[in-house]
Amino acid sequence: MINFQFSRARDVADAILLLTGHPGAKLIAGGTNLIDLMKENVEQPSRLIDISRLPLRTIEETADGGLRVGALVPNSGLAYDPLIEQRYPLLASAILAGASAQLRNMASVGGNLMQRTRCAYFYDTATPCNKRTRSSGCSAIDGLNRNHAILGASNSCIATNPSDMSVALAALDALVHIAGPSGERTMALTDFHRLPGETPDIDTNLEADEIITAVELPPRGFASNYSYLKIRDRLSYAFALVSVAAVLELEGNAISEARVALGGVAHKPWRSAEAEMALRGQAATVEHFSRFADSLLQEAKARSHNGFKIELARRAIVRTLMQAASATPQSQAHKKIA
């Protein structure tokens, strides 16, 4: 049994105060990831700080025409909010591709960004894992690595980030609002998650005494030409082998802007500004999208069991971009591969 203190934060300042000077403290929101990890002895917080009653549950218009989404907005509340459905359908689609209805009712925006990898060795305390215990070794590199990273991995860790929401937020250029002892700051979602390097135990660039207060969506939601495609072993209740969030702006059949983020392939949502730039001015064709996929995957590296993911990702990228170009986005409600 893990012995821990339990506190309920009165407000954001109180949550920061309770975190400060307690490196073993953890915030708890919906609890759908943290409680599982505590039951498996993977997480052993000395102090649990309940933030679930903080007033961070609103979705508000920003002055520039975007939206500010509170960190405690439930995943289901966000996906079914009319403003999100109409203006940011890519985000709604990505959320509905994840977990189950019950989990989405409990899971929060902040918790979704902070959820930990699903590498089986990370959950198995009988095996070495650098993410669980720094410098203990990585069991996946020479073990079962079918689900693991093909991009951005290191010799210390080849785990992937499991979040669907983060992949859509990366494609939408979302911002993360953070509060800590020295005040508030904002970080691009694409800078929020880290590559593993030598310190895979640190998933994000959030400091230990900071709290996510909101996610900000910029005004452009790309509601006409978007698609989120998630390829997984089962069509529900499974994490992505590969997922693709794609948005396009078209002038006729010519691409004026393209953004593509990959999930299930790296320690963070994967984008390449250079590859996206090269699509500008091109016609929206299979040929150009195939070239783009090659460029996005040029650094991809296979391990013993996950080589199939490179070709899977290549095909998924082309399919998702074609769906976005023809305004026929992937349906998450009907769970069909279009």
| Residues at the interface with ligand FAD (CB under 6 A) | 26-34, 36, 51, 71, 75, 98-99, 103, 106-108, 110-112, 114-115, 162-165, 211-212, 239
- Smallest gap from Cβ 43 to ligand FAD, in A, equals 7
| Cβ neighbours for 269, distance < 8 A, ≥ 6 positions apart | 161, 163, 166, 167, 169, 170, 171, 189, 190, 193, 245, 261, 262, 263
Give dist(CA 42, CA 203) in Å, integer. 15
Strand 183-188 to 175-180 pairing: antiparallel
Give dist(CA 184, CA 31) in Å, integer. 25
Among 88, 122, 222, 239, indicate the residue that binds ligand SF4 (CB under 6 A): 122
Q: Residue 229's binding partner, choosing from ligand SF4, ligand FAD, none, with beta-carbon cut-off 5 to 8 A by kind?
A: none
Give dist(CA 312, CA 233) in Å, integer. 12
- Smallest gap from Cβ 144 to ligand SF4, in A, equals 10
- Smallest gap from Cβ 48 to ligand FAD, in A, equals 9
Q: Residue 228, interface with ligand SF4 (CB under 6 A)?
A: no
Among 129, 150, 170, 258, indicate the residue that binds ligand SF4 (CB under 6 A): 129
Give dist(CA 230, CA 167) in Å, integer. 11
Contact predicate 74/108, CB 8 Å: yes
| Cβ neighbours for 23, distance < 8 A, ≥ 6 positions apart | 208
* Token pair belonging to 146: 């079918």
Q: Residue 38's binding partner, choosing from ligand FAD, ligand SF4, none, with beta-carbon cut-off 5 to 8 A by kind?
A: none
Residue 272 CA, distance from chain mean position: 16
Among 162, 200, 221, 263, indicate the residue that binds ligand SF4 (CB under 6 A): 200
Q: Residue 119's binding partner, choosing from ligand SF4, ligand FAD, none, with beta-carbon cut-off 5 to 8 A by kind?
A: ligand SF4
Give dist(CA 302, CA 186) in Å, integer. 35
Q: Residue 158, interface with ligand SF4 (CB under 6 A)?
A: yes
- Smallest gap from Cβ 330 to ligand FAD, in A, equals 15
Among 26, 87, 131, 309, indicate the residue that binds ligand SF4 (CB under 6 A): 131
Q: Residue 96's binding partner, choosing from ligand FAD, ligand SF4, none, with beta-carbon cut-off 5 to 8 A by kind?
A: none
Helix-helix angle 308-325:286-296, to 10 degrees? 140
SS3 129: strand
- Smallest gap from Cβ 72 to ligand FAD, in A, equals 7
- Smallest gap from Cβ 140 to ligand SF4, in A, equals 4
* Token pair belonging to 47: 């102090």
SS3 245: strand
Q: Which residue is nearest to ligand FAD (CB)?
A: 111
Q: CA dist 27 to 102, 110, 175, Å?
A: 21, 10, 21
- Taking residues 70 to 109 in sequence order and writing x for each that binds ligand SF4 by CB under 6 A, - otherwise, the string is ----------------------------------------
Q: Residue 30's binding partner, choosing from ligand SF4, ligand FAD, none, with beta-carbon cut-off 5 to 8 A by kind?
A: ligand FAD
- Smallest gap from Cβ 138 to ligand FAD, in A, equals 21
- Smallest gap from Cβ 307 to ligand FAD, in A, equals 23
Site size for ligand SF4 (CB under 6 A):
14
SS3 108: strand
Residue (of 260, 330, 310, 327) closest to 288 by Cα position: 260
**Which residues in this chain contact ligand SF4 in the complex, by CB under 6 A?**
117, 119, 121-122, 129-131, 138-140, 157-159, 200
